[in-house]
Structure 1
Amino acid sequence: MAERVFTMPDLGEGLEEGRIVRWLVAEGARVELNQPLVEVETAKAVVEIPSPFAGRIQALHGSDGEDVFVGSPLVTFEVEGGLVAPIAESWTSYPPTPQVSATPPVRKLAKELGVDIGTVRGTGRDGRVTEDDVRSASGGPADVTRIELTPVRRAIAANLERQVTIPQVTTFRTVDCSALQTFRTELGVSPLPVVVAALCRVANDHPLINARWSADAILAANGVNVGLAIDTEKGLIVAVVRDAHTLGIAKLATESTRLAGAARAGSLTPDDIAGATIAVSNTGSYGSEAGTPILSPGTSVTLAIGVIRERALVIDGQVVARPAATLSLTFDHRVLDGAAAGRALTQLVDLLQSDERLRDLPR
């Protein structure tokens, strides 16, 4: 029998760890190839991970509620033949104490402070022992209220820290939404799928808004995969409408609704969260007039749509009340100059203000 170590796989772009929801197998049990092993919560979905081997479970690395970093050991198997897969040298195991729920960093802190974690009363979610609990047990300061970081919040923070290094600029335009409101009402959809369809049309004429920067070239995508920023109880999640340029407005609306429901239910698949080539944030959904959206990983443009409401616009020299919104376009200045971004945004505004051009979009 040979020992094989299965590490936490990469379950999506920008994800560095997963939280064990529950084990579906026990140590000592025999498993078949592709038999479900464990449910893992990532920043964007709860994923069921299958067994990559057939054999016997020698060890489960982690207990329910623990965070496991990508590349760290998850399960050790005994299998017939084959080479032994070594455990990564950079990984340090902090075996769980029975009846104690704590993350590996908290267990490490307890060890450093000389605290027996088995004697600490946890005040975190479901009785989890937190860093403050350990510091209190050691006599250290605890003069703050600690809000435990969820996998979603950790992933959001990590992405923001990476994205802030990109030279990004935001430009704004006001759009008269009279034609848009009439058109989308006739179709029985929200403004979002109409704007996404219009953006796909603009991307065909301005390919740099659907591109990304690489070390030696700008990579323009051949298809348009639109990342939609979705607000959930766990935080902001970007889900992807794949091949949006091939879909009509009705299918865009259906897919947007599906992704929003899956994001809030925690049931997005890895394919639902990977591969965005451009992003859209509907900031108007929570009443925001405008915003300065941050780029999503792998994109050069994020478009934010502000709330549509009556505003005073000058039309043919007269001040009139019209439904209007602010569009905010954040772009990677390495990929686009301001003039290029401005031309693309102007074309989008012109399209959204034209009844004729709106009706030319695929339904």
Structure 2
Amino acid sequence: MSRIKTFNLPDLGEGLTEGEILAWLVKVGDTIELNQPIVEVETAKAAVEIPAKWAGQVQAIHHPEGTTVEVGTPIIAIDTDPGAGPLEALSTTATPSGDLPTPSAASLAAVEVAPAEGMIEPGLIGGAAPGGRTAVLVGYGPRTTAAKRRPRKNTPVPASAEVDHAVVVGDKAAASPPIPAPQVHDRRNGTSGGGARTGGLVLAKPPVRKLAKDLGVDLGTLTGSGPLGSITREDVQQAASGASVVVAEPIAATTAPSFGADREQRIPVKGVRKLTAENMSRSAFTAPHVTEFLTVDVTRAMKALDRLRGRREWRDVRVSPLLLVAKAVLLAVQRHPMVNSTWAGDEIVVKEYVNLGIAAATERGLIVPNVKDAGRLSLRELADALTDLVQTAKSGRTSPAAMSGGTLTITNVGVFGVDTGTPILPPGESAILAFGAVREMPWVHKGKVKVRQVTTLGLSFDHRIVDGELGSKFLRDVGDFLTDPEAALLAWT
């Protein structure tokens, strides 16, 4: 049996054909353990850490950081029995194109390639799980030993590497110090909770942010030495070792683009943005969209939220207007199940379950993770699920599985101070609700003009499935719930 095994880039999600190597977490010569994270890859849906399929010693890394690799392409070679004696070394001569080492012709015979999809032993990462369950998602498989990530040598960040603000949090390194309070970045004023911050956005790639968190380094106190002033691993390691640290000067909330001589900037379309563009174009020109609007008085809903926050069992729960909007949508679906369906050509597929999508704007682009079977959750369970979904999306840890299978979506444009919009349907869904900002406005209440809290809802739907009557009734029910949620809960449930 071959000692040298080549690990191919696995299928990281439904229909994904390629991924970009964001960062190598190991180097040639490192000894690695089973399931130890070895590389971070960004796909069109998420950034994930891929664990080692075998324990052993890294013999070759076939693609540098910043390279886009097709699924099934070899990315790393591992000697699974390095203590068994000498072995003809893999070629370490870089190719004229600058690629990293590739196996020599003589050593290829001794290399075993990871089996193709469907040929992997059940229960292993990338293969079918026992009992007929779906394959274990890469990066989330069972861990048999504690991962130990070795520090990488100084490696310059490629000039073409995209600076990504998303945070990918994996397993903590074995020797890491206690993790400080989470850093919560406020885009409005550039401040971060839990540490000093002088203003502006911190530019750092996901592995750098994770390293900083593990080492207890506040990125807001550093001046980056990477492209566009981004913070590198070396900057973080120097700060953690007690080396002199330059305090970052305040910068503008938005980094000025770097224009060329022609006064133009060209940004590659890839990753999440590429997939979003493809999906939105396909949806906009295949499903006939109709959008309706409804302005409602949500004063009672806001008071209900305040009472909910005051209850002892809810004091540690994140309670926001989105929670009531989500509950309203779920109850309205029970009354009008056709809204929760898919157009399948010669038939309409109506779904009894609701995988409720929540559109989330991240530094990597717009993503829509969903709460699985949200209609079966209690109000408290729904609150916890929404909190976990939003926090995971903001940290950049949303998995491809969390973004698949959505049936109905809410987009909360109100957080940006926007009143409403005409949202485009996610592919395969028949409705999406835009929830606008809640504002104090003059409103006729009980025959008198009073200052009330008001919001505007915008419902886009697929007119092949949802006609004007059905769409209007659904939107009206959502509005009625938000007008008086306590009465609606008593009457509808």
Question: TM (normalized to structure 2)?
Answer: 0.56
Once the two structures are TM-superposed, the CA of residue 193 in structure 1 deviates from its matched residue by 0.8
* 1:343 counterpart (459, 470, 473): 473
Q: Structure 1 regions of 5+ residues with no counterpart?
A: 86-97, 105-121, 127-132
User: Residue 161 of structure 1 aligns with which residue?
Assistant: 281
Distance 2:350 2:419 in 1: 31
Change (3 A) 1:123 1:48: closer
User: Residue 320 of structure 1 aligns with which residue?
Assistant: 450
User: Residue 307 of structure 2 aligns with which residue?
Assistant: 186
Once the two structures are TM-superposed, the CA of residue 100 in structure 1 deviates from its matched residue by 8.8
User: Residue 216 of structure 1 aligns with which residue?
Assistant: 346
Once the two structures are TM-superposed, the CA of residue 191 in structure 1 deviates from its matched residue by 0.9
User: Residue 108 of structure 1 aligns with which residue?
Assistant: none
* 1:144 counterpart (264, 270, 292): 264
Indicate the SS of the match to 1:298: coil
Once the two structures are TM-superposed, the CA of residue 58 in structure 1 deviates from its matched residue by 7.2
* 1:79 counterpart (100, 112, 117): 112
1:66 aligns with 2:78: no
Distance 1:82 1:277 in 2: 34
Greater RCO structure (CA 8 Å; 6+ sep):
1
Change (3 A) 1:9 1:212: farther
Indicate the SS of the match to 1:75: strand
User: Residue 426 of structure 2 aligns with which residue?
Assistant: 296
Once the two structures are TM-superposed, the CA of residue 34 in structure 1 deviates from its matched residue by 5.0
Change (3 A) 1:242 1:362: farther
* 1:274 counterpart (389, 404, 413): 404
User: Match of 2:431, as an amino acid?
Assistant: V
- Please list the CA deviations of residues 203-233 of structure 1 after superposition, one character each: whole Å capped at 9, or x if unmatched: 1121122111223321122211111111223
User: Residue 129 of structure 1 aligns with which residue?
Assistant: none
User: Residue 115 of structure 1 aligns with which residue?
Assistant: none
Distance 1:79 1:54 in 2: 14
Once the two structures are TM-superposed, the CA of residue 155 in structure 1 deviates from its matched residue by 2.6
Q: Give the aligned length.
A: 321
Once the two structures are TM-superposed, the CA of residue 40 in structure 1 deviates from its matched residue by 1.1
Distance 2:15 2:419 in 1: 29
Once the two structures are TM-superposed, the CA of residue 31 in structure 1 deviates from its matched residue by 7.3
Distance 2:294 2:389 in 1: 28
Contact 2:358 2:368 in 1 (8 A): yes
- Please list the CA deviations of residues 165-205 of structure 1 after superposition, one character each: whole Å capped at 9, or x if unmatched: 22211111111102211111111221111111121111112
User: Match of 2:397, as an amino acid?
Assistant: S
CA RMSD across the alignment:
3.7
User: Residue 199 of structure 1 aligns with which residue?
Assistant: 329
Q: Which moved more, 1:183-192 or 1:157-166?
A: 157-166
Q: Which moved more, 1:318-327 or 1:297-306?
A: 318-327
Q: Which has the higher helix share?
A: 1
Q: How does 1:104-123 map to 2 (within 5 A)?
A: none
User: Match of 2:292, as an amino acid?
Assistant: T
User: Match of 1:313, as an amino acid?
Assistant: W
Distance 1:201 1:312 in 2: 29
Contact 2:298 2:483 in 1 (8 A): yes
Distance 1:40 1:361 in 2: 49
Change (3 A) 1:13 1:307: farther
User: Residue 367 of structure 2 aligns with which residue?
Assistant: 237
Change (3 A) 1:20 1:354: same
Contact 2:362 2:396 in 1 (8 A): no
User: Match of 2:271, as an amino acid?
Assistant: P
Contact 1:7 1:72 in 2 (8 A): yes
User: Match of 2:469, as an amino acid?
Assistant: A
Once the two structures are TM-superposed, the CA of residue 158 in structure 1 deviates from its matched residue by 2.3
Question: TM (normalized to structure 1)?
Answer: 0.74
Change (3 A) 1:125 1:242: farther
Change (3 A) 1:243 1:155: same
Indicate the SS of the match to 1:161: helix
Contact 1:303 1:328 in 2 (8 A): yes
User: Match of 2:323, as an amino acid?
Assistant: P
Indicate the SS of the match to 2:410: strand
Distance 2:74 2:402 in 1: 24
Distance 2:157 2:489 in 1: 61
1:42 aligns with 2:43: yes
User: Match of 1:79, as an amino acid?
Assistant: E
1:173 aligns with 2:294: yes
User: Match of 1:154, as an amino acid?
Assistant: K
Q: How does 1:258-273 map to 2 (within 5 A)?
A: 258-273=388-403
User: Match of 1:173, as an amino acid?
Assistant: L
Q: Structure 2 regions of 5+ residues with no counterpart?
A: 78-110, 119-154, 162-225, 231-257, 310-318
Indicate the SS of the match to 1:326: strand
Change (3 A) 1:14 1:310: farther
Contact 1:312 1:322 in 2 (8 A): yes
User: Match of 1:178, as an amino acid?
Assistant: T
